[in-house]
Structure formats: C-alpha cells, structure tokens
C-alpha cells in the first residue's frame, strides 16, 4: 500500500475475499462494521436511548453494513427507521442482516422503495430523525447516480440530522474522490479497515474521518488468495498470446487455461518460459519468464538462496517480502521466490503463500502454467504471479479437476 495508507476499491475487494478464505467471513466483517457504525452514532448523539435514527441502505454490502448497524443501534435503545433503496438486498450477507432486521418488529421499521415516488412519500417519516446513516453505495460508485439513489442522496443532504456515511459518502469515487453528479455531505465518515484512496480529495463531503477496524487479519493483505485470482481473471483480455515452454508438464497444465502453446516459439509475440541456461529467442515483443536469476526478463522464478546472495534478509514472512521487494525494484522485475514459503514482489506489491505448501512437482508446474497463461491474456506480471500463487496451491491439493473447477468459479465475475 502506498502513501498515506489509502487503499483502492480493487485492493479492498481482494482483501475481503482473502479474509474469508483465511477463515474470517464477510458476515463477521459486516457484524463488526455495524457495531463500529453504531458506536460512532452513539458518540455523536451522546447516547441512543429513545433517539430516532434513519438508515438509508442500498442493496449491496454497504447496505448490509447499514442494516447491521441498525440492529446494533436498536440494541442500544434507538428507534430505527430503515429505508431500503432498491427493494431487496442482493448479497448473501446483506440478505442475512435484512432478515434479522425484519424480525425486529418493535425496534426497527423498514420501508422498501423502488422508485422516486415511494421515496418522496416517506419524507415525513424521517424529518424527526436525529441521525441518518448513509449506507447506500460506499465503494460501489460507477458513473452517474441513477434514480432513486439520486433522490435518496438529495434527501439525506436536506435532513437536519447528523449524517454518518459508511466507508465512503455515497456519490464519492472511492479511488479518486471525484463527484460526477451528487454526493452525501457527511458530518462523519466511518471508513472500514483502512481509509479509501479518494477521501482526501473529497474532504468537504467526508467530514470527520474515523477509521474502523473490522477484524480483517493482517495476512489477508499479503496472502496470495482467491481474491488475487478473481481480480486477475477480471483483467484478462480476449486475445491470447501463444506460450512457448519446453517443459512438457507445464504444457499439460496450460491445457486447463485453453492457451495455445508449443515447445518453441515461432514467429509472433510469445510469452516464453526460459529454463536455467536457456537463451531467449531473437524476437521482439516477447514476455519473458525465467527459472533462475537473470536480468533480461520480466519475471524471475528463483530460490531463497539466490535472492539472499543479492542482499535479501530473513525475519518474518512479511519482512522477507519487503527485503525481496527492494531487490525487485532495483532490478525492475517481478521476483517470485519459489521455496517452502513463497514470496513475490515487484517492489511495490509484496505477497506471500504458505498454505498448501511446499509445492510438489505438479504444483510447481501448475504455478508456472498459471503465470504464463495469465500473462498471455494481458494480465500485468505482478497480478499474474499473485493469482498463480493461489492457483498453484489449489492444483497441489486438488489436482487438475480441482483447478479447473476453481478457475470456472473465479472467472464468473
């Protein structure tokens, strides 16, 4: 992560999925988020007993955070009115929290609105709210705001209540801070896990910024997990470069990706895997991956001993990754340390793999095949390598059929 500690929406999606894979599910993260939001509202109002709070919830997980907060605030004695903009929750986690809120018939009132008319008709229902929670969009902003969300944002801004936004004020681009149309003007923004990159540029809309930990393990940020693989599949382009690799076992694993491959490159722009001592073909535009340290390639697959001789130092897995990153940055390469514990870095992104390790021969072949296949589809080298680190563990544990099934699952966006 760079600069002031801000995180992109893409990085956050990866971390969420990796956290679940490590054993901390999104439902628990949502529960912790809801508790944090409720606590902030409590602090701003000086208590919640008998106070009325309106929660504007969208249909995704930002709305789910708001629904979890509604339940926690009701438990603190608040009278809670939930306005679900869009009608129904669309994610499993948000749906679970909606079902719970619907059963709280005495402490939470819920209105499901699908159009502007229904929303405007509820205005009097919210006029006496002392706090309003904006859980409409969060990091889910894509272009201009559509109705009835646009009217919901306008309505929030017009209320006299204290305005608390969840993660990002709805309408603010989480990565750039840009407002294309309209955005919630919050008194306080409760941003989850880490501040989002665009918030400094939208300070007039953010208000006071509170960073709320929600129980994400630190390892979720640097493990090579399913979030990395899903993100890489999203970045694949339709056109696929052919792959040239002399290792027959790697070519077998490449079949799972339906990538054209051969033992030696012919004319054209190839992705090439070079074994130790194997010279690259004299052809422009090649993407080159090598086994063993060399300077004329894009991605290096090597052992800890090689990078240690270049100055890498021991310590925790994260400290080792940072140490490898310094070498990668200096050499302008992606370095993948293939050992009992695996590390990959380009000097800016540092990742590690320790689950389903060490890899056997089949897992190592699957790792190489995954890197080559993703590079052939235009995925940038560091993202191809972090995704491949996860896929290799799947291949090691579950074999070709397991890898095929996981590729199919992750490729469905």
Intra-chain end-to-end CA distance of the chain, in Å: 24
Q: Residue 143: what pLDDT?
A: 80
Q: Are strands 342-345 and 350-353 parallel, antiparallel or unpaired?
A: antiparallel
Parse the chain into domains and list their residue ranges.
Answer: 9-220, 222-411
Write out the CATH class of domain 222-411: alpha beta
**CA dist., res. 313 & res. 342, Å (int):** 14
Task: Tell me which residue of 250, 258, 228 sits closest to 390, measured CA to CA.
Answer: 228
Give kind and range of the element (H or E) at residue 156: helix 149-158
What DSSP line would sit under 293-357, residue for residue?
--SSSSEEEE-HHHHHHTT---SSHHHHHHHHHHHHHHHTSEEEE-SSSEEEE-SS-EEEE-TT-
Q: Residue 281: what pLDDT?
A: 76
Q: Residue 142: what pLDDT?
A: 77
pLDDT tens digits, one per residue of 67-97 = 999 999 999 999 999 999 999 999 999 999 9
Residue 77's alpha-carbon distances to 38, 50, 70, 107, 187, in angstroms, are: 11, 6, 11, 8, 22
CB atoms within 10 A of CB 235: 15
Q: Residue 413: what pLDDT?
A: 63
Task: Give yes or no for a contact between 62 and 30, defined as CB atoms under 8 angstroms apart.
Answer: no
Q: How far is C-alpha 194 from the chain's CA centre?
A: 12
Task: Give yes or no for a contact between 327 and 307, defined as CB atoms under 8 angstroms apart.
Answer: yes
**DSSP label at residue 193:** S
Give kind and range of the element (H or E) at residue 132: strand 131-135
Q: Residue 207: what pLDDT?
A: 98
pLDDT tens digits, one per residue of 172-191 = 999 999 998 899 999 999 99
**Rg of the chain on CA atoms, in Å:** 25
Task: Write out residues in the chain with pLDDT < 70, as ranges.
Answer: 1-5, 267, 413
**Second CATH level (architecture) for the domain 9-220:** 3-Layer(aba) Sandwich (3.40)
Q: What angle do CA 201, 68, 5 make, to 5 degrees?
A: 30
């Amino acid at each position: 992560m760079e600069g002031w500690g801000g995180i992109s929406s893409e990085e956050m999606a990866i971390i969420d999925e990796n956290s679940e894979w490590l054993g901390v599910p999104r439902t628990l993260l949502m529960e912790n988020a809801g508790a944090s939001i409720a606590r902030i509202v409590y602090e701003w109002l000086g208590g919640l007993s008998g106070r009325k709070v309106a929660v504007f919830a969208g249909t995704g997980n930002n709305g789910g955070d708001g629904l979890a907060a509604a339940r926690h605030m009701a438990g603190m004695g608040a009278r809670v009115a939930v306005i679900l903009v869009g009608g129904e929750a669309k994610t499993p986690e948000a749906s679970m929290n909606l079902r719970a809120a619907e059963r709280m018939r005495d402490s939470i009132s819920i209105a499901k609105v699908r159009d502007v008319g229904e929303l405007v008709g509820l205005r009097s229902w919210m006029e006496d709210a002392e706090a309003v929670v904006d859980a409409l969009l969060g990091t889910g902003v894509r272009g201009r705001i559509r109705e009835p969300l646009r009217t919901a944002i306008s309505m929030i801004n017009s209320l006299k209540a204290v305005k608390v936004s969840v993660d990002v004020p709805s309408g603010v681009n989480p990565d750039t801070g840009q407002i294309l149309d309209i955005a919630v003007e919050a008194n306080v923004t409760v941003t989850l896990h880490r501040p989002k990159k665009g918030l400094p540029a939208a300070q007039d809309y953010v208000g006071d910024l509170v960073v709320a930990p929600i129980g994400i393990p630190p390892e979720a940020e640097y493990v090579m997990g399913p979030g990395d693989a899903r993100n890489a599949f999203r970045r694949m382009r339709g056109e696929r470069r052919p792959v040239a690799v002399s290792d027959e076992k790697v070519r077998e694993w490449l079949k799972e990706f339906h990538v054209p491959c051969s033992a030696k490159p012919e004319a054209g722009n190839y992705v090439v895997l070079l074994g130790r001592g194997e010279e690259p073909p004299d052809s422009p535009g090649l993407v080159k991956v090598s086994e063993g340290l060399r300077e004329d390639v894009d991605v290096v697959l090597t052992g800890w001993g090689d990078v240690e001789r270049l100055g890498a130092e021991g310590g925790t897995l994260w400290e080792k990754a940072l140490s490898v990153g310094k070498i990668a940055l200096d050499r302008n390469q992606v370095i993948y340390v293939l050992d009992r514990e695996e590390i990959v870095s380009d000097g800016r992104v540092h990742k590690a793999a320790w689950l389903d390790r060490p890899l056997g021969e089949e897992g190592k072949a699957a790792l190489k095949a995954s890197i080559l296949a993703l590079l052939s589809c235009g995925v940038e080298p560091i993202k191809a390598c972090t995704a491949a680190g996860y896929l290799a563990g799947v291949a090691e544990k579950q074999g070709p059929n397991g890898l095929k099934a996981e590729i199919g699952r992750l490729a469905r966006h």
